[in-house]
Chain A
Amino acid sequence: MKNSLRIWIGLLLVSSMLLAACQPAAQPTVVQEPAPVEGPAVEDTAAVEQPAAEEPSSEIVKGGTLIWHSVASVQFDPPFIVDGPSFNVASQIYSFLFRVTGDGTAIPDLAETWEYENDNKSVVFHLRKGVTFHDGNEVFAEGEGREVVASDVVYSLERYLTIEGGQPTSDLLANYESVEAVDDYTVRLNLTNPDALLFVNGRGLTSMGVLPKEAVEFYGETWTMHPIGSGPFELKEYIPDESVVLIPNEDHYILPNIDELIFKIIPDETVAAVALEAGEIHYISTSSTTIFDQFAANEAFDARIGSCPWNWYISLDYNSPVTAQFEVRKALAHALDGERVLKAVLGGLYVGGCGTAGPGVPGYDAELCEEYFSYDVELAEKTLTDADWAKNADGIWEKDGTPLAVRLEIWNLTPMPDIASALVTQLKDFGVDAELVQVEFGTWIDDFYGGNQKELMLSNGFCGDGGLNALWGSSGLFYTLGYTNEEAATMLDETNYMVDQDVRDATLREAQEKIYQDYPVLTLGFAAGGEILNAKVQDYQGTAWFLNLVTTANNVWLKP
């Protein structure tokens, strides 16, 4: 008797949990009133499209606190920043010679104009006058921010390239010859070869923030905790792993419309989505199609597909006897239906395409998928049987007594496990003895770059320009991993110096085809991230590398 009470109470508790769970669960199409939101919500914002410039419509309202989302902790010293979250913050604190918009256009920042000289081997930047470093701190007293001049650019660039442990962009590092301050407002950068990537997001000069020498020297070891720049925002407070609080730089040549900018660090994507919905933050970026669809259907939010899709592909171990055989690679390429898998897992965030250069990027080849990576099981089987492979009693392909066995290695980044599970199932259905191996990030990196590759490794990366060279150029990654294609590599190297975009585009495409017809990797397709904003945020134009909140092209503001 006494113990049966337990069961009833247990049931009661279970049902109350179910109630709690069912309550907030919404069908994706129901519009939800976001909880603590002041004033009338809702705007007629575009839903799922390429980021379009907001019409300079109603009156701009100044003030308010904009709360952005950061998925990880950040650091502030430009030569060491390679991750998005850190650069989002750096974009606000520092001035750069120029900024690049989401669609790849270089717009002025510290440099008002620039021109090429000397056969495109030199670039001369003309600096804006009256830009000052942040004041009101331990280095520059209130009202005494020093003006940014050419020698600051020289100092910053040299430090960027030479500091120990720094990670400057490779194309800049490879081509750098010297930099000089011609006068207080003119900087001349001399390169050994023309650099086609100088103004490309994430390459060239796009990570070089301008720093004041006296601040770096003043703080020494703790400089990383007290960044001082000349950008539109100053650092007010940094609580490691929690938030970064920025306030407008009163002396910036464009005064920010908002009163305060906060980056909230929330590592868990699901919780960040809840915070967005509850109105606690104004922005998240997501790679989950579920979250994306949820907000796309909600008028109080503005969901956009990111502008820089990155590619998903399977890299191969060139030292493995299995993958060394051309027919195996070709067969696997046709036995995998990358499009179907990516569509199922990534939904609307999947944009198609094959190769290393994605849609909209120089070198993009719209026919590559059809020609070399079409999903064609019969063709795959024929490729193998033509090379004397046959299925054994277990239904596994076998040749000379050796069955076709591969391992697919991933790390636990969502959605890798889902994509890989599906791919492994497809391989098994085709008759390959495939096994999924999930490791943690450090191990994966070590295996990938250290030549300990399993037969197959699922990888993603490279959005935008420069990927082809980084992977397949003569100093590219796969070169060091053991894949050689001299002809293509030379072609790619040359494109680094081409300034005529059409010629460069065609050459890249040709080189890419030469590479992919060899099946050195199995390309699956491109997918973008999703950006979701609270509809109150106005004049935001997307992020490819720079988080452009206050620039010559836009100045975000909040509708009340």
Chain B
Amino acid sequence: MLNYILRRLLLVPLLLIGITLVVFILIQLAPGDPVTAQYGLKLAEADPVRIERLREELGLNDPIMVQYVRYLGNLLKGDFGISLTTRTPVLTEIAARFPATLELTLAAMLIVIVFSIPLGIAAALKRGSLLDNGLMAFSLFGVSMPAFWLGIMLILLFSLTLGWLPTSGRGTGPLLDRLEYLVLPAVTLGFAILGLNSRIMRSSMIEVLNQDYIRTAHGKGQKRSVVIIRHALRNALVPILTLLGVQFASLLGGAVIIEMIFAWPGLGRLAVNATMRRDYPVIMGTVLLFSFFYLISSLVVDIVYTLVDPRIRYE
């Protein structure tokens, strides 16, 4: 087991290089470069000589691989570069936004876990009941609604009509003061996943409950709740855990639309804006961060598998 973990960990840097290389190449190949994107519509007024000089300075005329290697070299020295649009160090930009993203992701995941697992289990246990059908209908809703639509509807209801919560932003000060800003974005972010996860929890639970060994346990006369907790739950949790681990990592990087709607100052917006402006250092920095998180969470999930289901082995 330890061997396995070590091997996986050693692969992480390699995979990061792979991911960043592909992203780097794709962005470079896409039309446009940071200079033109930066000038934007004012390019008409710019001095072409200066533009060329700027391109040279930034090394944009060098072959792609040369640029990538140069980037890698700097990276190993701990230099993540500076943003080509704001001229602020990439790490500063990321560090300024990371807490916001983490906060939002954790809040959303909390909502999802707290609601989806118990609801899914309850629905599976009371299959066919009002609860079950209510849950299924509700989950369908969650999946059928695009985030920005739900977000704006919630804003209209809770901020404008009822006036209970602010429309957007993150607020300033300690977390406890800012909770009201976190509610709507976290709920919107969690909503779609809530539905899916509840259903998967439910299916997986039903699946397990129908297993022979469950009926055996029943037959042996064990109390129902014991049966559930000791036998069914552990196995039923396996698919959900995969999903949660993966969702966490993707939420970290993919809450862009929620961030745009709720003006949440997170990494998603930073990454997408940087991509549109071809701001390579920022793009690479955020990709590195997201990928790193994903790879680690993927490893953690795999390890948790083995804890939950001792039959699972890795070679």
- Which stretch, A52-60, A77-85, A346-354, touches the partner chain B? A77-85
A75 touching B169, Cβ below 8 Å: no
Known: A35-B160, A239-B170. Contact between A82 and B40, CB under 8 A?
A: yes
Contacts of A20 in B (CB 8 A): 153, 156-157
The distance from the CB of B103 to the nearest CB of chain A, in whole angstroms, is: 12
Complex CA–CA separation, A80 to B159 (angstroms): 37
**Is the CB of B61 closer than 8 A to any CB of chain A?**
no
Q: Cα distance A443–B32 when bound, in Å?
A: 6
Whether, in the assembled complex, B69 has its beta carbon less than 8 Å from a beta carbon of chain A, the answer is no
Q: Is the CB of B153 within 8 A of A443?
A: no
Bits for B129-149, please: 1 = Cβ < 8 Å to A, else 0: 110111011101100000010
**CB of B261 within 8 A of chain A?**
yes
Assess whether B313 is interfacial by the CB under 8 Å rule. no
B133 and A268 contacting across the interface, CB-CB below 8 Å: no
The stretch among A165-173, A365-373, A503-511 that forms the contact with chain B is A165-173
- Is the Cβ of B270 less than 8 Å from the Cβ of A241? yes
CB pair A266 B159 closer than 8 Å: no
A residues in contact with B221, CB < 8 Å: none
Q: Which of B36, B133, B159 contacts A2 (CB 8 A)?
A: B133
A174 to B130, CA, bound (A): 76
Instruction: Give the residue of A221, A440, A471 whose beta carbon is less than 8 angstroms from that of B44.
Output: A471
Please tell me if B78 contacts chain A, counting CB pairs below 8 Å: no
**Interface membership of B199, Cβ < 8 A:** no
Contact A222 B30 (CB under 8 A): no
| CB of A113 within 8 Å of the partner chain | no
Question: Are the CB atoms of A445 and B87 closer together than 8 Å?
Answer: no
Contact assessment for B57 and A265 in the assembled complex, using a CB-CB cutoff below 8 Å? no
Answer yes or no: B202 CB below 8 A from chain A CBs.
no
B63 partner residues in chain A, CB cutoff 8 A: none
A185 and B92 alpha carbons, distance in the complex (Å):
38
B43 CB to closest chain A CB (Å) equals 5
Residue among B32, B53, B132, B270 having the largest count of chain A Cβ atoms under 10 Å: B32
Contact between B160 and A271 (Cβ–Cβ < 8 Å)? no
Of chain A, the residue at the smallest CB distance from B166 is A280
**A499 CB within 8 Å of chain B:** no
The residues of B that contact A82 with a CB separation of less than 8 Å are 39-40, 42
CB of A275 within 8 A of chain B? yes
Q: Total interface residues on B, using CB and 8 Å?
A: 69
Q: How far is the CB of A321 from chain B (nearest CB, A)?
A: 23
Q: Which residues of B are found within 8 Å of A28, using beta-carbon distances?
A: none
Is A13 a contact partner of B138 (Cβ separation < 8 A)?
yes
Interface residues on A, range: 35 or more
Q: Is B86 an interface residue (CB 8 A)?
A: yes
A417-452, CB under 8 A of B: which get 1 and which 0? 000000000000000000000001111011101101
Question: A24 to B43, alpha carbons, bound, how many Å?
Answer: 43
Closest to A79 in B: B87
Interface of B is mostly: helix
1/0 contact string of B154-172 vs chain A (CB within 8 Å): 0111011101001111101
Q: Are A75 and B87 in contact (CB under 8 A)?
A: yes
Residues of chain B contacted by A271 (CB below 8 angstroms): 152, 155, 167-168, 261-263
Question: Contact: A445 with B269, CB < 8 Å?
Answer: no
Name the CB-closest residue of B to A267: B260
Q: Please count the residue pairs between chain A and chain B whose beta carbons lie under 8 angstroms apart in the complex.
A: 186
Shortest Cβ distance from B73 into chain A, in angstroms? Answer: 19
User: Contacts of B85 on A, CB cut-off 8 Å?
Assistant: 75
A75-B86, A80-B87, A265-B263 in contact; A241/B157 too (CB < 8 A)? no
Asked if residues B276 and A440 are in contact (CB atoms below 8 Å), the reply is yes
- Shortest Cβ distance from residue A284 to the other chain B in the assembled complex, whole angstroms: 12
Report whether A470 and B141 are in contact in the complex, using a CB–CB cutoff of 8 Å. no
Indicate whether A398 reaches chain B with its CB closer than 8 angstroms. no
> How far is the CB of A161 from the nearest CB of chain B, in Å?
10
Q: Do A225 and B140 form a contact, CB below 8 Å, given A275-B168, A461-B41?
A: no
Answer yes or no: B37 CB below 8 A from chain A CBs. Answer: yes
Supposing A264-B263, A271-B262 touch, asked if A237 and B278 sit within 8 A by C-beta, the answer is no
Residues of B within 8 A of A9 (CB): 133-134, 137-138
Q: Scoring B residues 200 to 214 as 1 if CB is less than 8 Å from chain A, else 0, what string do you get?
A: 000000000000000
Say yes or no for A324: interface residue by CB 8 A criterion.
no
- Complex contact A268–B40 (CB within 8 A): no
With both beta carbons as reference points, the residue of chain A lying nearest to B45 in the complex is identified as A170
**Chain B residues near A2 (CB-CB < 8 A):** 128-129, 132-133
Measured between beta carbons, the chain A residues less than 8 angstroms from B263 are: 241-242, 264-268, 271
Q: Nearest Cβ in chain B — how far from A235, in angstroms?
A: 14
> Of B33, B82, B266, which contacts A241 at CB under 8 A?
B266
A441 to B32 Cα, complex, angstroms:
9
Within 8 A of B (CB), among A284-308: none
Minimal beta-carbon separation of A9 from chain B (angstroms): 4
Residue of B47, B54, B141, B273 near A73 (CB, 8 A) is B273
Contact yes or no, A278 B270, CB < 8 A: no
Known: A225-B92, A278-B163. A240 touches B168 (CB 8 A): no
**Complex-state Cα separation, A237 to B163, whole angstroms:** 27
Task: Provide the residues of chain B in CB contact with A225, threshold 8 Å.
Answer: 88, 92
Chain A residues 1 to 24 lying within 8 A of chain B, measured CB to CB, are 2-3, 5-6, 9-10, 13, 17, 20-21, 23-24
Interface: B307 (CB within 8 A): no
- Asked if A387 is at the interface (CB within 8 A of a chain B CB), the reply is no
CA distance A224 to B161 in the complex (A): 40
Asked whether B160 lies within 8 Å of A224 as measured between CB atoms, the reply is no
Task: List residues of chain A with CB within 8 A of the CB of B89.
Answer: 221-222
Interface pairs (21), CB distance under 8 Å? A3-B133, A9-B137, A9-B138, A10-B140, A13-B141, A23-B157, A24-B157, A75-B85, A164-B54, A222-B92, A224-B86, A243-B172, A264-B168, A271-B167, A271-B263, A440-B276, A441-B40, A441-B276, A442-B36, A442-B276, A471-B44
Given contacts A170-B47, A222-B92, 18 further A-B contacts (CB under 8 A): A17-B141, A75-B87, A75-B88, A80-B87, A165-B54, A222-B89, A240-B96, A242-B100, A243-B172, A266-B263, A274-B159, A277-B160, A280-B167, A280-B168, A442-B31, A445-B37, A446-B36, A452-B31
Kindly list the 4 A-B residue pairs having the minimum CB-CB distance in the complex, ordered from nearest.
A442-B32, A241-B265, A477-B44, A446-B32
